Amino acid sequence: MKVMLIQPPSSISYMDKVYMYEPLGLEYLGAGLKEDGHEVLLLDARLDPDLETAFRSFQPNIVGITGYTNHLAIVKDMAIRFKKINPDVYIVVGGHHATVGPKDYNIKAIDVVVLGEGVFTLREVIKHRMGGLGIESIPGLAIPGSEMKFTKERPYTPLDALPFPDRSLTSRYRHAYFSDWMKPIASIRTSLGCFGRCSFCALWSITGGKYLKRQPEKIVKELQGIKEEIVFFCDDESMCDIKRMDKLADLIKEAGIKKKYFLYGRVDTIVKYPELFAKWKKIGLTQVFVGFESFSDDRLKALNKDISVKQQEQAVKILNDIKVDIYASFVIDPSFTRREFDQLIAYIRKLKISYAALSILTPLPGTKLFEETEDKLLTKEPKFYDFMHTVLPTTLPLKDFYSEYARTLMKATPIPRYLKFISKFDRKRRLSTMKELLGVVKEVREGYKWHQ
Whether 183 is covered by a domain: the verdict is yes
Based on the fold, state whether residues 245 and 292 are members of the same structural domain.
Answer: yes
pLDDT digits 0-9 by tens, 336-374 = 999 999 999 999 999 989 889 999 999 988 788 888 899
Percent of the chain with pLDDT over 70: 98
Q: Determine the pLDDT at residue 13.
A: 74
Residue 209 pLDDT greater than 80, yes or no: no
Number of domains into which the chain is organized: 2
Dihedrals phi, psi of 65, to nearest 5 degrees: -125, 135
Least confident of 3-7, 170-174, 445-449: 445-449
Residue 258 pLDDT greater than 80, yes or no: yes
Based on the fold, state whether residues 87 and 188 are members of the same structural domain.
Answer: no
Based on the fold, state whether residues 146 and 287 are members of the same structural domain.
Answer: no
The pLDDT confidence band at residue 289, using thresholds 50, 70 and 90, is: very high
Whether 405 is covered by a domain: the verdict is yes
Based on the fold, state whether residues 138 and 228 are members of the same structural domain.
Answer: no
Helix (H, G, I), strand (E, B) or coil at 385: coil
**What CATH number should be reported for the domain holding residue 270?**
3.20.20.70
Instruction: Average the pLDDT over 429-438 and give the result.
Output: 89
Whether 168 is covered by a domain: the verdict is no
Residue 205 pLDDT greater than 80, yes or no: no
The pLDDT confidence band at residue 18, using thresholds 50, 70 and 90, is: confident
Residue 94 pLDDT greater than 70, yes or no: yes
pTM, two decimal places: 0.94
Whether 164 is covered by a domain: the verdict is no
Q: Determine the pLDDT at residue 452.
A: 83
Based on the fold, state whether residues 131 and 197 are members of the same structural domain.
Answer: no
pLDDT digits 0-9 by tens, 114-127 = 999 999 999 999 99
85 CB neighbour count, 10 Å cutoff: 12
* Bridge-based pairing state of the strands 285-293 and 112-114: unpaired
Based on the fold, state whether residues 279 and 378 are members of the same structural domain.
Answer: yes
The pLDDT confidence band at residue 204, using thresholds 50, 70 and 90, is: low
Whether 255 is covered by a domain: the verdict is yes
The mean pLDDT value of the chain amounts to 93
Interatomic CA distance for residues 306 and 272, integer angstroms: 14
Based on the fold, state whether residues 136 and 188 are members of the same structural domain.
Answer: no
Based on the fold, state whether residues 81 and 223 are members of the same structural domain.
Answer: no
Whether 171 is covered by a domain: the verdict is no
Based on the fold, state whether residues 408 and 292 are members of the same structural domain.
Answer: yes
- Which residue range(s) make up the domain with 331? 177-451
Helices of type H across 360-397: 368-373
**What CATH number should be reported for the domain holding residue 79?**
3.40.50.2300
Q: Determine the pLDDT at residue 272.
A: 96
- CA of 423: how far to CAs of 16, 144, 189, 269, in Å? 21, 51, 29, 29
Based on the fold, state whether residues 58 and 193 are members of the same structural domain.
Answer: no
pLDDT digits 0-9 by tens, 371-415 = 889 999 999 888 898 899 999 999 999 999 999 999 999 999 998
Whether 158 is covered by a domain: the verdict is no
Based on the fold, state whether residues 222 and 363 are members of the same structural domain.
Answer: yes
Residue 304 pLDDT greater than 90, yes or no: no
